[in-house]
Structures are given as C-alpha cells and as structure tokens.
Structure 1
Amino acid sequence: MKDWSPLVVGIGGTLRDGSTSERALRLALTEAARLGAKTQIFAGQSLNLPHYDAIERTERATSLVEALRAADGVIIATPSYHGSISGLVKNAIDYTEDLRADARSYLAGRAVGAIVCAGGAQAMGATLGTLRTIVHALRGWPTPFSAVINAAQRPFSADGACSDPIIAQQLAFVAEQVVEFARMRRLYESRRNGLAPQISEAAPAQCA
C-alpha cells in the first residue's frame, strides 16, 4: 500500500481576509502539511454561506460539505464574539447536518483541533468550552490540546508570520494531534480489515 496522507480540513476566520483567526488556522494547516497531510481551507468569503437550510445548497456550501465528508481530521479556528464562537463559524459547522446519514455521521471518527482568538482570558475560556462541546455533540474527538490566542497582542505580521514562538508552538501542537489521530485511526481500520498500511512520519512538534 502506498504511503497515505490524511486530509485535514480547516474552517475559520472572519469575512475579513487576514483576520487573526484565519492566520492562526493557516499556520496550523501549514504544520499539518509539513507532517505529511493534505489540507483544504474554508476561510474568508468561502464561509459566506446562506443560513443553514435543509433543502438548498450553494456551490460554496456543497464544497464545504464534500470536504468535511472526505476529511480525516478538522481544525476549527474562531474569534470570540460576546463569549462564544462567531455566527459565521457556527453556521459553517451547522452544515455537518448534511452528513447525518453517512457511515461516519457528522464528525465521527475525526479528530478536531480547536483554535480560539479573543481579547481576554474570560472570552477565550468560554468560547473554547463552547467549541469543544459542539464538537462532542457532532461525535467528533476534540484534541486534548487546544490553542487560545490573545488577539490584542497582534501576534501575526501582514504576511501571516507569527512573532510569538509560544503561539506558534501551540498551533503546531494542535496540528500534530489532529494528524496523529488520523493516522492512528487509519492504522486501526487497516488492521481491522486485514491490511498493513505504510504511514510516513515527520518530526513531531514540541510544545512548551
């Protein structure tokens, strides 16, 4: 069997290109790619979706649903709005309802990394708790480690580089756990089916 690369789908940011949460998400996906994953991102205008409706689907909505259906892992990055996740990100997550009848319903069998950007500790904690609860409700596996970022510190430059090594480590660790879980899941399924997959590995991230 050829080396297998998990697909990690990133969802997050705001309608404003280059938001703190989008830059954090892109950095985490870059680390996932370094670890051998394929990545796909839905941020900015790609999240400008109609309010979830059980009948009609736009092209953007269909692309999101199909990406989540194929995903082996997910990373969600959200700003904190009034102590909770943004409506934009929640609406995107609501489209997982289209996966309810799948063999892997909703986010089942997928590790989900959480990234929260906020202006203070109280908002970060409340929003992270909400996001992890939503992932649980969708049968996903929230990674043990999550990243919280104080957006007031402005840790990202205009080109998306992170000036804070601690934040960079946090984002790398989230990505590593998502990729690691996807590979463990693949190994489990292959052994259950009598196969022996070859899974390439990259150097793990280190988190202080």
Structure 2
Amino acid sequence: MTAKALIVGIGGTTRNGSSSERLLHQALAAVEASGAETLVFGGERLLFPIYGTAKPAGLELEFIDALRRCDGVVIASPGYHGSLSGLVKNALDYVEELRGDARPYLEGRPVGLIAAAAGWQAGGSTLQHLRSIVHALRGWPTPLGVIANSSLPSCDCAGQIALMAGQLMDFAGAFAASAAAPTKARCVA
C-alpha cells in the first residue's frame, strides 16, 4: 500500500480500562507500528442512540464516515452472557448506513476480532457471533480471532494480537492492490 492504511477500532465498554478496551488499543498500536493510521470508537464514544430511532448525527456521522474511508477494522467486544455487548452490536448496526455505497457495508475490508470474557465458552461464542456479523456485513474476518480469558491470573494475548494485526495489515494491502489493478474481462456463462 502506498498511502497509509486507515484502520478503525470499535469496542470496549463504558468502564474505562476494561479488558476489551485494553486489547483494542493493543491491536491498534500494533497496526500503527506497521505504518497504519487509526481511529478509535470505543467506550463512551460508542454511546450512540439505538440504531433506527433517530437520524445519525454528530459522532454517529463521524463513525460512519470513518468506516466509509477505512481499509480495515478491529472489533473488540466483551463477552456478555455468551455474546457481544449491546454497545458494540448497536455500533455495528450503524454500518447499515453504508448499504448504498459503491463499496457497501464492510465490502473489501479485513476485520480483526477480539473477544474478552471471563471464561473460554463465553469468549468462543462471542467470537463466533462477531464472525457471523462481519460475514453478514460482507467483511473479511482475519483467520486468527483473539479470545482473552479474563478469569485467568495472567491474560497476555500480545502474541495473538500481533499475529492478528499482521494478518489485518497484509489483507488490507492485498485488497488495496486488487482495487488498484486494472479489471480483467470476466467470463459469463
């Protein structure tokens, strides 16, 4: 990629310093170290009105514009009762505003996923729900998704975060190169 990639981070909780927020910032630091620019929508910056109840304004429009321009996304959610938080899900519902774009939803964008939960079962199901949502939004989840079990005394995911961030940047570069390449005629049966 010739220009700096823009990676948008989504997640965390309204509790400052939560596990998912720390992991989100760790992932964004890793992509910044690879040369990317980042924007974070986390914690209280995700306190959007419930999607569909009001016309997007202010911070919601900033979020939508950032997603429209981005080359990749990192989503970090706590595992609440075996699934992602309502805060993160509501933010992802705002991706619907990209439905009419030339590149709709998360089309052509790699998405790194992080689930932080107090147990492996909740972490695994949260990660699976995130993958399903990203697929529905036409995004490309990285092969490695990170599960952080916050019930363990040492919850160090630095190696996994670095691998996921590397995959995100590799795929962002590949998608950018593919978009810049001349299109070839396709056979239609």
Band the TM-score falls in, shorter-chain normalisation = over 0.9
Secondary structure, aligned partner of 1:105: coil
Tell me the distance in 1 between the aligned counterparts of 2:100 and 2:57: 20
Q: 1:80 to 1:183 in 2, by over 3 A?
A: same
Superimposed CA distance per residue, residues 121-164 of structure 1 (whole angstroms, 9 cap, x where no aligned partner): 11111111111000000000011011100112365xxxxxxx73
1:191 to 173, 181, 184: 181
The Cα of 1:54 is off from its aligned counterpart by 6.5
User: Where do 5+ consecutive residues of structure 2 fail to align?
Assistant: 184-189
Runs (4+) of structure 1 moved beyond 3 Å? Answer: none
Quick one: which amino acid aligns to residue 167 of structure 2? Answer: Q
Over 3 Å counting, the alpha-carbon distance change for 1:99 and 1:154 in structure 2 is farther
Structure 1 residues 154 and 92: alpha-carbon distance in aligned structure 2, compared to 1, 3 A threshold: farther
> In structure 2, what is the equivalent of residue 123 of structure 1?
122
Unaligned stretches of 5+ residues in structure 1: 156-162, 194-208
Residues 103-123 of structure 1, C-alpha deviations (whole Å, 9 max, x = no match): 110111000110000011111
| Superposition pairs of residues 23-102 of structure 1, within 5 angstroms | 23-53=22-52, 55-102=54-101
C-alpha change, 1:16 and 1:183, in structure 2 (3 Å) is same
Q: Distance in 1 between matches of 2:182 and 2:159?
A: 34
SS at match of 1:114: strand
Identity, % of aligned positions: 48
Q: Distance in 2 between matches of 1:63 and 1:4?
A: 21
Aligned counterparts of 2:13 and 2:130: Cα–Cα separation in 1: 16
Greater RCO (CA < 8 Å, at least 6 residues apart): 1
CA distance in 1, matches of 2:138, 2:89: 16
- What residue number does 2:17 align with? 18
How far residue 44 of structure 1 moved from its aligned partner, in angstroms, is: 1.3
Indicate the RMSD between aligned Cα atoms, in angstroms: 1.7
| Count of matched residue positions in the alignment of Structure 1 and Structure 2 | 184
Shift of 1:174: 1.3
Q: What TM-score do you get using the length of structure 1 for normalisation?
A: 0.84
Task: Look up the equivalent residue of 1:192 and give its one-letter code.
Answer: P
CA–CA distance in structure 2, aligned partners of residues 80 and 118 of structure 1: 5
Amino acid at match of 1:178: L
Cα distance in 2, alignment partners of residues 137 and 154 from structure 1? 35
Distance 1:12 1:154 in 2: 23
* CA displacement 1:58-86 (0-9 Å, x = unmatched): 31111111111111100000000011000
